[in-house]
A and B are shown apart, each in its own frame.
Chain A
């Protein structure tokens, strides 16, 4: 098929329809995550409410709140600059909570910048153990370093390294977060339909497979890897996990979450491994969040 046919809004609407879904537009609610390394929930709520910000607990996260503020930007006040919170989309707070990193572990954040999930990992580790963060693109290192400093992270080491070459670190990990670079989704990118093509999505999928293999190679036996994307495209999600189960020594584990659909096991007529139902898929019109996908894998 010509490239121009395999893109644009109608093309993707038709794809989602084939997956049993009807695309609807939603407005993603602004959200933040309390940084408990520096402040308690109660204290931050008191501080922000005194400034006229209204907060609503996100019930599927530990430290997340939706907020409404019309007078000023929450990304420019003292409380933000002191690292009391991180502006982080609600659904993107979920992967690290599923990863559940502990104080005495060695953890890898394979695609770290700008540092939202990196700082979240450090927080749940209580700044103990070792957190290795990789960022491939030089110009994205500033945001990552800023986030680490601002949020008071003390247990992180950053390398300017493509995660496909993570083996060169000669380290092994108890847990790995692979929040893979992906094609994104229409909720977080208003021009998504104009920019994306199926060829681009397939290219992205090939890179993600390489990342899965590379991360698996440095994961300890019995270690946990969380694979996540903010894409709705099965090529970057369920099809990649199906490939993973066939080619890598990893098995899926159940994700206990009160939100999100099961992973798809029938994609455009192709039947996939039944275990993929344990993955979580976030259709924006059902969850009122951005699009997202999470798989929890354990090394055998």
Chain B
């Protein structure tokens, strides 16, 4: 699922799959220099994301994808706040996409070019249907 997720944004090899370890539903990028015990770990190296109904990428993976894709939507401060509170991004005025098509997965960035999450691009009233946002860090601990 990790490979398929990355391919939706870029064909570039942004992760060395020789160093990827999967633990149940979670993926980790584990450098050869990291010393491991013989016991099973809970977390190791660079966390890449988790399989579920949809793939939940890590912050690191979002950042790497942002360097390698042009499927990006930039939002203003108000949209940023709503997005990280778990809301979809509504279309404001006439937005002419460049290289985006209905149903594309897009990364969402703020005015500082910082990755806030990702969603599904639409040409309708909802510009980006939210799938994952960084506000998830707070929701995970509440649950």
CB-CB nearest in chain B for A154: B46
Contact size range, A:
20 to 34
Q: Are A83 and B47 in contact (CB under 8 A)?
A: no
Interface of A is mostly: mixed
* CB–CB B141/A78 < 8 A: no
Determine the residue in chain B with the shortest Cβ distance to A80.
B137
A130 and B141 within 8 A (CB): no
Q: Are B114 and A159 interface neighbours, CB within 8 A?
A: no
A124-165 contacts to B, CB under 8 A, are 128, 130, 132, 135, 141-146, 148-150, 152, 154-161
B36 CB within 8 Å of chain A: yes
Hey, which chain A residues are within 8 Å of B46, CB to CB? 154
> A161–B134 contact, CB under 8 A?
no
Interchain CB contact under 8 A, B59 and A146: no
The answer to whether B59 touches A82 (Cβ under 8 A) is yes
Whether the Cβ atoms of A130 and B35 lie closer than 8 Å is yes
Q: Is the CB–CB distance between B135 and A157 below 8 Å?
A: no
Q: Which residue of B lies closest to A138 (CB)?
A: B42
> Would you call A81 an interface residue if the criterion is a C-beta within 8 Å of the partner chain's C-beta atoms?
yes
Q: Is the CB of B137 within 8 A of A156?
A: no
Asked if B137 and A158 make an inter-chain contact with CB atoms under 8 angstroms apart, the answer reads: no
Complex: A82 Cα to B37 Cα, angstroms: 30
Q: A259: CB under 8 A from chain B?
A: no
B: contact size bracket: 20 to 34
Check: B80 CB closer than 8 A to any chain A CB: yes
A148 partner, pick from B29, B39, B43, B84, beta carbons under 8 A: B43
The answer on a CB contact under 8 Å between B45 and A81 is: no
B45 touches A155 (CB 8 A): yes
List chain B residues, Cβ under 8 A from A70.
none
Contact of A154 among B41, B45, B110, B135 (CB under 8 A): B45
Asked if A6 is an interface residue, CB under 8 A from chain B, the answer is no
CA distance A135 to B43 in the complex (A): 11
Contact B38 A152 (CB under 8 A): no
Contact of A169 with B42 at beta-carbon distance under 8 Å, contacts A78-B110, A82-B59, A146-B141 already known: no
Chain B residues with CB under 8 Å of A78's CB are: 80, 84, 110, 114, 116, 134
- Cα–Cα, bound, A171→B135 (Å): 37
Does any Cβ of B come within 8 Å of A4's Cβ? no
Is A1 positioned at the interface, with any CB of B under 8 Å from its CB?
Answer: no
| A156/B43 in contact, CB under 8 A | yes
Question: Does A61 sit at the interface, judged by CB under 8 A?
Answer: no
Contacts of B116 in A (CB 8 A): 78
Chain A CB within 8 A of B96 CB: no
Mark out the residues of chain B between 8 and 36 whose CB falls within 8 Å of any chain A CB in the assembled complex. Answer: 29, 31, 33-36
CB-based contact B43/A157 at 8 Å = yes
Q: Are B42 and A160 in contact (CB under 8 A)?
A: yes
Chain B residue at minimal CB-CB distance from A135: B42
| Residues of chain A within 8 A of B33, CB atoms compared | 128, 130
A106, A150, A159: which contacts B35 (Cβ < 8 A)?
Answer: A106
* Residue B58 lies at the interface, judged by CB distance under 8 Å to chain A: yes
**Contact residue among B38, B47, B138 (Cβ-Cβ distance under 8 Å from A145):** B47
- Given A82-B114, A130-B34, A157-B43, do A146 and B60 touch, yes or no (CB 8 Å)? no
Interface centre among B29, B47, B84, B110 (most CB of A within 10 A): B47
Which residues in B have their C-beta under 8 angstroms from that of A158?
41-44
Contacting residues of chain B (68-117) with chain A, CB-CB under 8 angstroms:
80, 84, 110, 114, 116
Partner pick for A142 among B35, B47, B140, CB 8 A cutoff: B140
**Given the interface contacts A82-B59, A83-B59, A146-B140, does A154 sit within 8 Å of B31 by beta carbon?**
yes
Q: How far is the CA of A224 from the CA of B39 in the complex (A)?
A: 25
Residues of B within 8 A of A (CB): 29, 31, 33-47, 58-60, 80, 84, 110, 114, 116, 134-135, 137-138, 140-141
Besides the known contacts A81-B84, A150-B137, A156-B43, 12 further A-B residue pairs in the complex with CB atoms under 8 A apart: A82-B114, A130-B34, A130-B35, A142-B141, A148-B47, A154-B29, A157-B35, A157-B36, A157-B44, A157-B45, A159-B37, A161-B39
6 A-B pairs in the complex with CB atoms less than 8 angstroms apart: A78-B84, A78-B134, A81-B137, A83-B59, A130-B35, A145-B43
